[in-house]
Structure 1
């Protein structure tokens, strides 16, 4: 049977019991809703305030990384592309070890991190390097 003809006799009904109850959910008062044209509520897609987690000591190495000051495309080359330039930059970077530790801990699968490619990091994890 094709999609166009449809089999509307076998429609699966949504079971609202799967949603659970909201009767006991706490109400959070967010203040008055600004009114827009024609007396409709004016809703914003952008929050008034964005909560940004403060940088931790673990993340501060990223600010000192040389790659943050260069073209990111060098560190994420196309498949088969050269990694030479990125690795050269990594060799002179003071946070190379922290970068590699981060990549290994977060299972980064793309790009050059700590002077190693994805393949080299996989080998390092397996103990081949």
Structure 2
């Protein structure tokens, strides 16, 4: 995979079509993430059912971990750099501009400029790789 706006999509196509079992690795990666989220939602449901939210500190850490996992998955969604990926990155990151006072600054920091472009893709690739190790 090449985290470059000009070649990212073609890179994914190359992996799927020309690398032995590349299509299978990509599908396992994507479907594995979906399965992981199903397990997370079952875990959250169990926690709500048994009242685990009463232990505030543990529950808060769990919610923070959920947001980190969601951010990691979102960054992985953006990496193929198709139309849906590009506009998904644009719309979702723009939601952060609603944060009072600092919102626009946060969005520009995430983008690495004034629009979703090469620095954004590079950052998302780096964070998609590093965040699972931090989590």
- More helix per residue: 1 or 2? 2
State whether TM-score is above 0.5: no
> Which has the bigger relative contact order, CA under 8 A and spacing at least 6?
2
TM-score, normalisation: structure 1? 0.25
TM-score, normalisation: structure 2? 0.24
